[in-house]
Amino acid sequence: MALDARGGRSRRDMSRPGSVRRPRGGEPVGAADSERPAPLPEPATMRLDGRVALVTGAGSPDGIGYATAHRLSDLGARVAIVSTTRRIHDRAGELGVTGFVADLTDESEVGALADAVAEQLGDVEVLVNNAGLASRASPEVLRPVAQLTYDEWRGEIDRNLTTAFLCSRAFIGGMAERGWGRIVNLAATAGPVNALPTEAGYAAAKAGVVGLTRALAMEMIADGVTVNAVAPGIIHTAASTMAEIKQGLGTPVGRPGTPDEVAAAIAFLCSPAASYITGQMLVVDGGNSVREAQFR
């Protein structure tokens, strides 16, 4: 079960339909939007004062989730962070935010997390689905498809795609009812843009994140909710290998990116200033995916 910041347990069963978006007036979801008045443009501000934001996968002090939580907090959001271990409470203390423990591949734990965040902070209006990026604790599976086991395949899909699906589903109903929301999913260049041998599971999951992002963006567009993806390239985190760091030196910028540079892109898409952007994937890779070939 998900643990709140005080160690208490929250009770919610995601098998109940209460967290799923409810059509209005008997209208099916996706019904003709032309009958609804177009919302007025929002002020082009980056501020998120008073908004409740949830950032998943923020257990590492050197990771993208942690950097994102820091930026959102600086923009005035009331931030909750979650990871699979109790080290999240250390990160929460450092940032002055609220930490939760949950396995986001488990439907019931996601439901319990949603209840716990609502009880302590209020309704989530900004969701950053960062959980799933490879880490030392849960490294990426590197194996050719011919040698990839079914459990390894399912593990990559669940960790990188199912988490985004379950968390998004848990909060979109409330966002739609309030008429405002931001969801930013963490994709990657691997999958949507390119791929390498031995990473089929990860690449397939991250390509799936982009598909989920675009479909959900169209489902939520009439409700004032935007859904976008950020696709980092080679980013220097605590989980980076020496080989990855060397690859970063070969990018057009000449270095790997930093978690804060990715967090800056995420924070923009979470802000009111990004109100006319939805269903998009923003690549943050130092121009690496643009270059056709490397010349010396």
Would you please indicate which residues are annotated as catalytic (active-site) residues?
202
Q: Judge whether 125 and 175 are in contact, CB under 8 Å.
A: yes
Of 222, 235, 225, 116, the C-alpha closest to 169 is 225
Tokens of 64: 């993208």
Of 133, 131, 158, the C-alpha closest to 54 is 131
Helix (H, G, I), strand (E, B) or coil at 179: coil
- How many whole angstroms separate alpha carbon 116 and alpha carbon 54? 12
- How many whole angstroms separate alpha carbon 140 and alpha carbon 105? 16
Q: Count other C-beta atoms under 10 Å from residue 260's C-beta.
A: 15
